[in-house]
């Protein structure tokens, strides 16, 4: 009998791949920006800023950057947004913004977490419902776990927030299988390498689904031993749809649809 195709270890990014939390991101960023800068943000501009934020979300790697992105957008016209799609240019603008306000990524990140903690303490249901798990993903995860699939979630979001969201969606992922933000930052390839080794899974049997193309390209460039790992770009996530899927394919990275991901593994291509 032919052996069923499946990963020895399946690793998933969270934001974008599993869950769309744009509404919560904008609200939490809005509150955090007001706290760290003292600005009275213009409520009348909220729909415009939220739309521009969502369009540029694929440029963001870490949560604290979302606060900066919203701050940058309040000071710039939409005509300049296109340049922020470039990773290097975004990093330059981001760093100028925080330096000019005597802020640091650590201060912003800690304030961001406190803002979320206060929101959850006051109205957890409201915070949870600002998130939307992608259709069929929670059920798919529950089914994988019931069947004994080894699954890890690796995210730059703080672990308590991840665990609250999984509990809300009744996904019984073990706490040690949820890898949240760490200080100092660890590269995802180091995390994946260590997880594979701890379970006796060779990198050729590690499958990783991510929606940030730069992360996948970094894996290829800087972690040569990942040549045998199976990397996938989640095309439904936070991606620049006019360029990222084509760039992934050109780099030899399969582009996965949501329907494919929630199907049997032999449909992943």
Q: Are 64 and 108 in contact (CB under 8 A)?
A: yes
Coil, strand or helix: which one is 233?
A: strand
Q: What is the mean pLDDT of residues 1-26?
A: 89
Quote the CA–CA distance of 172 and 141 in Å, as a whole number. 9
> Tokens 């100092």, residue?
184
Structure confidence at residue 2 (pLDDT)? 45
This prediction has a pTM of 0.94
Which residue ranges make up each domain of the chain?
9-21+133-267, 22-128
Closest Cα partner for 240 from 60, 66, 19? 60
Structure confidence at residue 183 (pLDDT)? 66
Higher per-residue confidence, 17 vs 5: 17
Per residue in 219-232, pLDDT (tens digit) is 888 777 777 889 99
Radius of gyration of the chain (CA): 19
The model's confidence at residue 166, banded by pLDDT at 50, 70 and 90, is: very high
Q: What is the mean pLDDT of residues 100-129?
A: 97
Structure confidence at residue 43 (pLDDT)? 85
DSSP-assigned beta bridge partners for residue 154: 179
Residue-averaged pLDDT of the chain: 94
Closest Cα partner for 22 from 72, 66, 61, 81? 66
Q: What is the mean pLDDT of residues 163-173?
A: 98
Structure confidence at residue 186 (pLDDT)? 83
Asked whether the predicted pLDDT for residue 146 surpasses 60, the reply is yes
Closest Cα partner for 118 from 178, 34, 32, 43? 32
Asked whether the predicted pLDDT for residue 1 surpasses 70, the reply is no
Q: What is the mean pLDDT of residues 98-123?
A: 96
Q: Are 67 and 29 in contact (CB under 8 A)?
A: yes
Closest Cα partner for 232 from 257, 204, 201? 257
Per residue in 44-64, pLDDT (tens digit) is 999 999 999 999 999 999 999
Asked whether the predicted pLDDT for residue 41 surpasses 90, the reply is no
Structure confidence at residue 124 (pLDDT)? 97
Q: Phi and psi (nearest 5°) for 153?
A: -115, 130
How large a percentage of the chain has pLDDT more than 70?
98
Asked whether the predicted pLDDT for residue 107 surpasses 50, the reply is yes
Q: Are 239 and 15 in contact (CB under 8 A)?
A: no
**Which tokens hold the place of 54?**
């969502």
Closest Cα partner for 108 from 153, 60, 75? 60
Structure confidence at residue 222 (pLDDT)? 74
DSSP-assigned beta bridge partners for residue 206: 9
Query: What's the CA dihedral at 203, 209, 213, 214 to 10 degrees?
Result: -50
Fold of 9-21+133-267: Rossmann fold (3.40.50)
Per residue in 87-100, pLDDT (tens digit) is 999 999 999 999 99
Structure confidence at residue 4 (pLDDT)? 65
Asked whether the predicted pLDDT for residue 173 surpasses 60, the reply is yes
Structure confidence at residue 187 (pLDDT)? 85
177, HSE (Cβ side, Cα atoms, 13 Å): 16
The full length of the chain comes to 269
């Amino acid at each position: 009998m032919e052996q069923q195709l499946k990963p020895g270890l399946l690793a998933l990014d969270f934001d974008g791949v599993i869950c769309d939390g744009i509404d919560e991101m904008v609200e939490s960023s809005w509150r955090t920006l007001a706290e760290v800068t003292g600005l009275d943000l213009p409520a009348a501009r909220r729909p415009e800023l939220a739309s521009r934020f969502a369009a540029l979300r694929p440029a963001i790697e870490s949560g604290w950057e979302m606060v900066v992105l919203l701050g940058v957008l309040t000071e710039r016209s939409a005509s300049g947004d296109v340049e922020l799609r470039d990773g290097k240019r975004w990093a330059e603008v981001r760093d100028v913004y925080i330096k000019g306000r005597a802020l640091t990524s650590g201060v912003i990140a800690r304030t961001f977490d406190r803002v979320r903690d206060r929101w959850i303490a006051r109205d957890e249901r409201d915070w949870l419902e600002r998130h939307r798990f992608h259709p069929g993903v929670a059920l798919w995860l529950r089914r994988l776990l019931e069947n004994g699939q080894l699954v890890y979630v690796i995210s730059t979001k703080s672990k308590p927030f991840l665990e609250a969201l999984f509990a809300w969606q009744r996904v019984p992922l073990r706490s040690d299988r949820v890898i949240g933000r760490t200080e100092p930052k660890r590269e995802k390839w180091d995390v994946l390498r260590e997880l594979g080794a701890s379970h006796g899974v060779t990198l050729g049997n590690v499958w990783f689904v991510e929606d940030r193309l730069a992360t996948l390209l970094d894996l290829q460039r800087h972690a040569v031993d990942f040549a045998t790992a199976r990397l996938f770009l989640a095309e439904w996530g936070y991606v620049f749809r006019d360029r990222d899927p084509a760039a992934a394919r050109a780099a030899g990275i399969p582009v996965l649809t949501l329907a494919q991901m929630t199907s049997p593994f032999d449909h992943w291509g």
